[in-house]
Chains A and B, each alone.
Chain A
Amino acid sequence: MRATRALWGAVGVILSISRAQAQVQASVETGLGGMQYQGNPGAIASFAPSLSWSSSFFRMSADGAYTGFGDEREGTAGRAAASLFGRLGAGFTAEGFGTATGQTGPHLSQGAWLAGARIHYLTGVQGLWLGGARGAEPGSPTWRIEAGYWRDLGPVSLQLQAGQTMIQATELKTRLGPDTLTLDTVLVDQSKARSDLSAWLRWAGGPFQLGLGAGRHGNIARPADVWWESEAAWWISPRVALVGAAGDRPTDLTLGMTGGRYLLLSIRANLTAPRPRIPVPAPRSVPAGFRIERLNSNAVEFSLPGRGAHLVELMGDFTDWKPLPLEYASSGWWRIALPVSDGVHQVNVRFDGGPWEAPPGVTAVADEFGGVTGRIVVQ
């Protein structure tokens, strides 16, 4: 009971802290298509909602799918993932994560989960991660190690990832005893490993998005399967896209999933803000740590953490470079509302009369006077 209360308390704290900066994306996709499995073609209809929610230190996503097959069978599937991030400095970020998947079909219902940690090394437009996790698949505990690399090249992004899942399994078997006259029942180790390797490429230009993914996965007991999938989206409005997807999925004996080729045409509706036109983090006019909020057509509020200072001042080309003191707001944050026009502006802040510096997280540009200024965009 206490643990449950603590869990909900932690969730509440996360929700309240991240509410201000959270980015929420929700969409729903409805489509028709065909799937060919084991040589048998069939029609499919799908309905797939998706939700993601992220802030600077938290990310959660969930998506699901209902698929109806032409012969009146149907299935549902869902997966959810949550991660907490903590910066370690020097480009390293730690992540604790948990994922859960579940599915029901005409002949099976099963689930799997995984919980673990990753360490990321980030250098701006590229990153690397290593991770390990503990989990369970139907009937068997699992261990997993994984590594990945991503890189943004403007409108193109690339991601490579590899992992190895160790599945612990034992089985009771009966065999002849050492005297060959009696039968012994022994526990036989049936553990196996499954490796996976995949590469993803995405491109966005204008109203179009393309995605390609390919990989292989297999286990020790049988040859590896190669799979691929592709998707093209045409955003006919900021909220509606026509999506075509095709691919070839391998049979997954561990999860009991039959593979097959598919072709799916669907309509995707973005239920939140209009989608970004390139697959990059949601745009922000300034990084976290220094906030700019337009209050009305004339006034803009600046706020920043005060680093424990007793006096925080700000000046810029919108104050005629006259230092103005900020007022203490709460929780260590200071703020000031000023008349500022839209556009690019120069700004400096200082703490307790110290040197003028760029606001935290804002690009610092050398000035002509031996110091720096911060360049911001007010919209």
Chain B
Amino acid sequence: MVTRTILLLSVFGFGSLFAQDSRLQTRLPADVANQVQRLVDSAAQHGLPTEPLVQKALEGQSKGADGGRIVAAVRTLSGQLGEASTTLGPGAPEADVVAGAACLKAGATPEMITELRRLRPEQSLAVPLGVLSDLVALGVDVPKAWEQVHSLAASHGPDTEFLALRDRVSSPNSKPPPGPVQPKLVPSANPPP
């Protein structure tokens, strides 16, 4: 069986195990498409999500980037996906791996991702990791952003709370600012004579 597999690989070439992505072939110059395809195939071999790589190449094409820049961007993302996948462990959902890659790119450490995994063993990490990346993108330094995200994760906050945290930082003026706090009405307003 092993012999047959090796024989097939040698006859058809390694790349033929993976389908050529027609989007790459139709939207990118042939040489760029081929280089990206090889990176995509390699990622697939390692069990990494491949769609983000294809999307990164298509994004570059739509934004008018040259071939070298597109291939470099895809290669960088592939490396980040690999690191995130290793950190999250086998069987991690694709969305978590993608969000983890973005987080590492933003400056988070693998230990942070591991800690989030520990705090939310059964839940997706996509939103907490995405919010961590966003906070950093918004100018919050990594330790402070991590402190906020970690605090929410430790209190088992749902995804909506992470999004609320991001919204507070990203658009502080989108909600009315708090006004003066009033004392509790019940006991103070009805005094016996």
Q: Give the B-binding residues of A (Cβ under 8 A).
A: 29, 31, 33, 35, 37, 40, 42, 44, 46, 48, 54, 56-59, 63-67, 69, 71, 73-79, 81, 83, 85, 87, 91, 93, 95, 97, 101, 103, 105-107, 118, 120, 122-125, 127, 129, 146, 148, 150, 152, 154-155, 159, 161, 163, 198, 200, 204-206, 213, 227, 229, 231, 245, 247, 249, 257-260, 262, 264, 276-278, 280-285, 287-288, 315, 317, 320-323, 343-344, 346, 356, 361-371, 373, 375, 377, 379
Contacts and interface: CB of A to CB of B under 8 A. Distances in A.
A322 B189 contact: no
B177 to A, nearest CB: 4
B189 A103 contact: yes
B95 interface: yes
Interface secondary structure of A, over-half rule:
strand
Instruction: List 9 A-B pairs, minimum CB-CB distance, nearest first.
Output: A77-B189, A75-B190, A283-B164, A258-B191, A368-B73, A67-B190, A262-B187, A287-B171, A283-B160
Interface in B42-79: 52, 55-56, 58-65, 69, 72-73, 76-77
8 contacts: A59-B176, A65-B190, A67-B186, A69-B192, A204-B155, A284-B167, A364-B137, A377-B130
Interface residues of B, number: 70
Interface secondary structure of B, over-half rule:
helix
Contact of B174 (A56, A83, A322, A366): A56
A249 B183 contact: yes
A73 B23 CA distance: 79
Interface string B135-162: 0011000000001100110011111110
B134 to A, nearest CB: 4
B127 interface: yes
Contacts of B173: 87, 91, 93, 122
Contacts of A118: 179
A232 B164 CA distance: 23
A264 B62 contact: no
Contacts of A259: 191
Contacts of B23: 320
Nearest to B99: A344
Nearest to B58: A321
A35 B152 CA distance: 37
A368 B134 contact: no
Residue of B61, B76, B127, B157 with highest tally of chain A CB at under 10 A: B157
B128 to A, nearest CB: 11
Contacts of B138: 363
Nearest to B171: A287
Contacts of A29: 186
Given A124-B172, A363-B166, A317 B59 contact: yes
Nearest to B154: A205
Nearest to B93: A343
B98 interface: yes
Residue of B155, B186, B187, B193 with highest tally of chain A CB at under 10 A: B187
B134 A320 contact: no
Interface in B83-110: 95, 98-99, 102
Contact of B168 (A125, A200, A213): A125
Contacts of B119: none
Contacts of A81: 179
Contacts of A73: 192
Contact of B59 (A57, A97, A367): A367
A375 B134 contact: yes
B182 interface: yes
B39 to A, nearest CB: 14
B184 interface: yes
